[in-house]
Amino acid sequence: MRPQGQGLDKWLAWTALMLVCALFAGPSLAQNYPTRPVTIIVGLPPGGITDWMSRVLAQQLTDKWKQSVIVENKVGAGGKIADEYAMHAAPDGYTLLNATSIIGARTVFDKDALDMEKAMTGLASMLFAPYVIIAPVEAPGKTLAEYLANAKANPGKINFAAVTNTGQMLDTYALFQLAKVQMTVVPYNGGAPALRAVVANEVQGYFGAVFGMQAQIAGGRIKALAVTSARRFSLLPDIPTVKESIGLDFDTGVNYGFGITSATPRDLVQKISADIVEVVKRPDVQDQIRKQGYEPTSLNSDEFTRLIAREAARMRETARIANIKPQ
């Protein structure tokens, strides 16, 4: 029951004060941000591309903001620990998450995974890599068309590696659906062991990001059949796209970027997003990204958030067709 009389007047005055505070808390927070150290949460161990890009951004933002930006690796449960920690942090802009465009894949495989589409707002993207479809040098076919023709002639007999419970695994099924081939998916717990299996001809195909593959391709230890982007990848200009190879649209890859809990005030999100985009567009940062085997990108908050939603919807449809159920 609402207060009456003088109590009502005090209640109305208090409510009005709270509304005014709510109206002005966001802008003042964004204008003064940051006033203390900021943490970037990474769900993978040091040494990989997600950790590397987070540390590059942290150094650049430290210089820009004149406040320390710290990278903290919270490893485990396939990224769930990092997701939940960052998304349940205070919505004040001081806890960021290293995120990818395929982050929505978690809910396809794990019924207990946090729904990141709802929990997270994208801040900005930083880099992109298409997948590279590879095969052992002994595998039949010099082109993707010839490789797939052999797979169609031997349904279920070709082993194809995929990284367990990831967007890459879903994209593997999507390629099979698109090309109308039946291959046996062999799960691995990471890209490195999957790549080793291809080199050793333990499996006859795999696709993953170019990170770590370039030396194997250049050394002739594996053959690269196609890239999965809409146009040729600048770092592998001689490798055709899937569309060039077989005439089918298969435009996918991984956009790496950063996110924040969706409860964060909008103007603060835009402030952080603009600062990350400005940093990523710096020529020295773009040079560093290209040297790692990736293309720099700089999608802003709205663009990156929409991309994540599109990727999640596409993966749910792939899972439905492949009859993959969350466990």
Find the range with the poorest average confidence among 82-86, 108-112, 269-273: 108-112
Find the range with the poorest average confidence among 70-74, 122-126, 142-146, 164-168: 164-168
Q: Are 103 and 120 in contact (CB under 8 A)?
A: yes
Q: Check residue 257 and give its pLDDT.
A: 97
Percentage of residues of the chain with pLDDT beyond 90: 72
Which amino acid is located at 317 in the chain?
E
Retrieve residue 178's tokens.
Answer: 């698109």
Q: Which domains does the chain have, with CATH numbers?
A: 30-128+254-321 (3.40.190.150), 129-246 (3.40.190.10)
Q: Check residue 28 and give its pLDDT.
A: 58
Q: Are 252 and 131 in contact (CB under 8 A)?
A: yes
Considering only residues 111 and 66, tell me which one the structure prediction assigns the higher pLDDT.
66
Burial of 42 (0-12, 13-18, 19+ CB in 10 A): buried
Q: Are 193 and 176 in contact (CB under 8 A)?
A: no
d(CA 276, CA 308): 18
Q: What angle do CA 169, 184, 221 make, to 5 degrees?
A: 80
- Going by pLDDT thresholds of 50, 70 and 90, the confidence category of residue 11 is very low
**Quick count: other Cβ atoms within 10 Å of Cβ 255?**
23
| pTM of the complete model | 0.83
The model's pLDDT over 245-297, given as tens digits with 9 standing for 90+, comes to 999 999 999 999 999 999 999 999 999 999 999 999 999 999 999 988 889 99
Q: What is the DSSP string of 167-217?
A: HHHHHHHHHHHHHT---EEEEESSHHHHHHHHHTTSSS-EEEESTTTHHHH
Q: Are 88 and 77 in contact (CB under 8 A)?
A: no
The model's pLDDT over 160-177, given as tens digits with 9 standing for 90+, comes to 999 988 899 999 999 999
Which residues lie below 8 Å from residue 77, measured CB to CB, with a gap of 6+? Answer: none
pLDDT at 57 over 70: yes
